[in-house]
Amino acid sequence: MALVIVGSDLVSGLEIVIYSNEQKIDDNISDVRIRTRWVMEHWNEIRTAYQVAKQGTVSGAADVLGVHHATVIRHIDALEARLGAKLFQRHARGYTPTEAGHDLLRVAGATDDQFQQLAGRIRGQGEGVIGDLVVTSLPLVSHVLTPILVGFQQENPGLHIRYLTSDRLFRLEYGEAHVALRAGNAPQEPDNVVQPFGQFRAALVASDTYVVRYGMPKNADDLANHWFVANDVTGSRAPWGEWIKSLVGAERIIFRTSDDKAMRGAIQEGAGLGFVANWEAENNPTLHKVLPARDEWSVRLWLVTHVDLHRTPKVQGFLHYLKSRAQEVTL
């Protein structure tokens, strides 16, 4: 059962087209094109499905929408019956969107953004930036984005910020985030708009505690006699992880963790030598650079947005604000 959904700008004239192999909205038509009128008639159900996907549970969606959980279930059942497709897999922990559900919810998210912008104009807020803005990045650049996100929200009081830090790649095509700051090679997804955003520079450091306990490495050759703290995330995009393994071997990595804060804490407590942001190495008097920074320890950063949302006032406003403060960014 295939479900394909295409969306366009609500303000200039929303068009959502749904094709279904087993369309139950009209028993006489196998492929039905449903435009704005159908979406408006069933927007409550579509919005309910969108919130279930965002919250992951019926009760969470009910709280956000201010309705009884039975209403949420009724909306989901009715929408699935109309489309002739399962939008969610039900399990003990909640609801997970199916492939058809992801297709619908991507468009629902974009439409919800457009509704919020339209409502703002109707209320006399002009092109004001309102609603939710979801931004994601690796934890290692949170020191850069946090003050910028706070400043952007303060300039746009109708905006609610969600800042998600994780090593996993959030799927912009499914509406999981509006803007992503990614590291490594340039993202290749065809529906993404990708812009360069500098580099993250790392430094190999030893803490005061480590130096007292083990001494400072004399040179690069002496590193094989020292202990290291490293990332334990499979498939990590940090180049210094592979550099450590190739230089000293896994047996010298005495402390591994998947949490950035825990890793910095272990380095600070003297468990081993390790990598921190270059700005932290230069501003923390208890940390000492073991070697000068190397290009092979740097990671390129990219601003990524999805083409469906790239031109919305909210996303454009944040991108312009972020770039205007780029000179303040220390990576």
Q: Are residues 111 and 162 in the same domain?
A: no
Q: Are residues 307 and 178 in the same domain?
A: yes
Q: Are residues 112 and 169 in the same domain?
A: no
So what's the pLDDT on residue 127? 54
CATH number where 313 lies: 3.40.190.10
So what's the pLDDT on residue 108? 76
Q: Are residues 68 and 137 in the same domain?
A: no
Q: Are residues 217 and 186 in the same domain?
A: no
So what's the pLDDT on residue 5? 36
Pick the closest to residue 94 from 142, 49, 53 (CA basis): 53
Q: Are residues 73 and 196 in the same domain?
A: no
Q: Are residues 111 and 213 in the same domain?
A: no
Q: Are residues 97 and 20 in the same domain?
A: yes
So what's the pLDDT on residue 8? 35
Q: Are residues 104 and 242 in the same domain?
A: no
CATH number where 110 lies: 1.10.10.10
Domain final residue pick, 84, 103, 121: 121
Q: What are phi and psi of 291, to 5 degrees?
A: -135, 155
Low-confidence ranges of the chain (pLDDT < 50): 1-35, 122, 124-126
For the stretch 269-272, contacts whose Cβ atoms lie closer than 8 Å and that sit 24 or more positions apart, written own/partner, are 269/207, 269/209, 270/207, 270/208, 270/209, 270/210, 270/212, 270/213, 270/214, 271/210, 271/227, 271/229, 272/210, 272/226, 272/227, 272/228, 272/229
Q: What are phi and psi of 108, to 5 degrees?
A: -60, -40
Domain final residue pick, 121, 150, 184: 121
Containing structural domain, residue 107? 3-121
Q: What token pair was written down for 286?
A: 């208890």
So what's the pLDDT on residue 195? 92
Which residue, chain included where needed, has tokens 């006032």?
313
Q: Are residues 222 and 318 in the same domain?
A: no
Domain final residue pick, 96, 121, 146: 121
Q: Is 80 helix (H, G, I), strand (E, B) or coil?
A: helix
So what's the pLDDT on residue 125? 46
Full-model pTM:
0.62
So what's the pLDDT on residue 151? 94
User: How many domains does the chain divide into?
Assistant: 3
- 83 burial (CB, 10 Å; 0-12 / 13-18 / 19+) is buried
Q: Are residues 162 and 110 in the same domain?
A: no
Q: Are residues 268 and 322 in the same domain?
A: no
